[in-house]
Structure 1
Amino acid sequence: MTTYHLKVTIGETEPPVWRKIAVPNHITFHQLHLVIQECFQWQDYHLYKFELPDVESPITRLFGDPFIDEGNDIDAREMLIDPYIAKGGRFRYIYDFGDWWEHVIDVLDIDPLDDARAPRVTASQGESMIEDAGGVGGYYRIMDILHDARNPRHEEIERWVEWQAPKPFSADTANAHMDELLYFPKAAYSSSAAPDAGICPARRVKLRDVVDALEYQSDALAAYIDLDAVEVRMLFFEDFVGQEEYERSLREFESCNSLMLPRPEELDDYGVMRSFALMQEGVAGDRLKRAVEGRGAFKRFKSEVAKLGIEEDWLAFRDESRAETARDFLEANGVRWA
């Protein structure tokens, strides 16, 4: 696996606040954004963009909102970093267009033989800044007040910092967190194919198949994505289908680069029911809110939905919630969908 070694420095900090990170070559710019967020303990509350010397338009996450999207930006979830990284290169990452936290990203090295787990922090300097502090200048003004007990705003700022500031930065903690949440398996794509409008083509798993698999799983059936074939498959358990079918499905599972889908117990079905209940108005809302409280909530909720005659509305809402869960899961794991 090719690994890029990058140094990310928050601009105008003195002494400089930076992190050296290693990331795999096959991730998107949105996934690089997630890594930077983790390494500087940002909260991912705000918009962001990457600015590259050879790319005219900013690379950001598009939201389909004309008041947010400029119309000529490039979707960071569709843009692989690989074609744009060269040793000695430099580009910028801006987080929070109000505070304008500017990060300068230098490409230190490209290692085609690095098999270590990535992403990871390899070195660091300086503590993380504080979200919503007013940018670098605002942060330093806040620190000045914090260290001046005679300042009339000292106690106010002290309380704010105690509530808002992240814990002292630890590379080990950041790596452990990324190891759990931001390990990106290599999605199948053809790096030799000619990029179309700067976007490297990739094979995509069908989102509908992932949503259906999330719904179909049970104690006797698990779902996973074959990342080599880029398709959803099922893993049958022996007591469900018998020895022969179990061994066949197990061989398929073990022979591929796989990504297990979230198990039924990991899905917040109760939260989806409660959200639907809170959306309803009047008598329907009151009845559904009562139904989701206490033991037996699932059965009561289903019964009330049937009595109210809103099964189609509920199923559509549940399906969209499943689709959102599937999209978030695939995005976090570097798997594209269609």
Structure 2
Amino acid sequence: MRKTEPRGVYLAVGWQRPMPGTAFPAPIPAMRKCGGAIHARDIRDAKRTVARGFWPGARPMPPPPRAETGDNAAPRRHDQHRASGRREKVFSQRKVAQLLVRLIEIDPPIWRRLLVPSDWTLAKLHRVLQATFGWTDAHLHEFHIGGLRYGDPDLLDDGFDGPRVFDYADVRLLDFLGQPDPVFVYVYDFGDNWQHEIRIEAWPEVETAPKQAQCLDGARARPPEDVGGPWSYGDFLEAIRDPEHDDHASNLRWAGGHFDPEWFDLEVINKDLRNAMRSNAARRLHQPKPKKG
């Protein structure tokens, strides 16, 4: 049975201004009694209503009319909800999000172009990004959208009244639809601070509902894990290119004995993406070594 809010409780909608370089206004829902806001019966529907683009000044939805009986009775709310859910499911299945992802503060750029099912959440997108760049998922991560933090609250809430962490399992890529040039950031490894800029380039339609993400193109290998961040990565490259450098041998050992910054293998990356949602999938710790001969 669905949990409903008492009659007379409405959703008051507020929006936080987007941070520079982003285009996704963060919804700030609050449940309180007020006569001129959007009606909601449960928290889940309210959050989804906000995420789909109701802006301040939108015409409020009045409380639902009392149920009528007979042949002329209006469809009940749960029937309308089911019909809306079916339309949304068909719509989302026919769309994918085309993403351009690049590591910030690295030149020449390390980037990937992806197709991701539009109804996937940011929690699933985290696994996609780990697979497409070849990270090992050994560190904490979060998304930054409109100045707010989205991630796993159980992992990121520190209990010291820090900035609130919103559950990234509640946000889908489809929620960005209609926003002009959506851009947000994925941060992996708070020590090395690998920041990935994610730009939604397009919403191409597909004939059948996609079951997995796909990499279309890209360039260059991601840096070794725990190398120290973008600035230390430059020092790492300098050392492995110079056999006379004091750190040449140790840095190569750190990278698994081989590292080519220009490496990019579309077949290998898409194989990793096909296994991205498997909890027991083997993860590559290092870049594949070139075949001899």
TM-score under structure 1 length normalisation? 0.49
Q: Distance in 1 between matches of 2:201 and 2:156?
A: 36
1:58 aligned partner, one-letter code? R
Q: Aligned residue for 1:51?
A: 144
Shift of the alpha carbon at 1:173?
1.7
Shift of the alpha carbon at 1:87?
5.5
Please show how residues 73-152 of structure 1 align to structure 2 within 5 Å.
73-85=165-177, 86=179, 88-113=181-206, 115=208, 118-152=212-246
Q: Aligned residue for 1:215?
A: none
Structure 2 contact 221–260 (Cα < 8 Å) conserved: no
Shift of the alpha carbon at 1:163?
5.2
Q: Is 2:271 aligned against 1:176?
A: yes
1:19 aligned partner, one-letter code? R
Please show how residues 208-287 of structure 1 align to structure 2 within 5 Å.
none
Evaluate the alpha carbon distance shift between residue 180 and residue 96 of structure 1 in structure 2; reply closer, same or farther with a 3 A threshold.
closer
Matched residue SS, 1:58: strand
Matched residue SS, 1:111: coil
Please show how residues 160-199 of structure 1 align to structure 2 within 5 Å.
160-162=254-256, 168-182=263-277
Q: Deviations over 1:49-80 (max 9, x none)?
A: 11112xx4200112267537846111122322
Q: Which moved more, 1:60-69 or 1:23-32?
A: 60-69
Structure having the higher helix fraction is 1
Q: Is 2:153 aligned against 1:62?
A: yes
Structure 2 contact 132–272 (Cα < 8 Å) conserved: no
Q: Distance in 2 between matches of 1:68 and 1:48?
A: 17
Shift of the alpha carbon at 1:10?
0.3
Q: CA RMSD in A?
A: 2.7
Shift of the alpha carbon at 1:132?
0.6
Matched residue SS, 2:236: helix
- Contiguous gaps of at least 5 residues in structure 1: 184-327, 330-338
Q: Deviations over 1:101-153 (max 9, x none)?
A: 01111111112335355300011111222111111111111110111122222
Q: Which has the higher contact order (CA 8 A, sep 6+)?
A: 2
Structure 2 contact 97–173 (Cα < 8 Å) conserved: no
Structure 2 contact 97–118 (Cα < 8 Å) conserved: yes
Matched residue SS, 1:63: helix
Structure 1 contact 35–178 (Cα < 8 Å) conserved: yes
Evaluate the alpha carbon distance shift between residue 128 and residue 114 of structure 1 in structure 2; reply closer, same or farther with a 3 A threshold.
farther
1:84 aligned partner, one-letter code? F
2:242 aligned partner, one-letter code? D
Matched residue SS, 1:131: coil
Shift of the alpha carbon at 1:181?
4.1
TM-score under structure 2 length normalisation? 0.56
Structure 1 contact 87–107 (Cα < 8 Å) conserved: no
Q: 2:111 aligns with which of 18, 42, 47?
A: 18
Shift of the alpha carbon at 1:169?
3.5
State how many pairs are aligned.
183
Q: Deviations over 1:262-306 (max 9, x none)?
A: xxxxxxxxxxxxxxxxxxxxxxxxxxxxxxxxxxxxxxxxxxxxx
Q: Distance in 1 between matches of 2:107 and 2:241?
A: 17
Structure 1 contact 93–105 (Cα < 8 Å) conserved: yes
- Contiguous gaps of at least 5 residues in structure 2: 1-93, 281-293
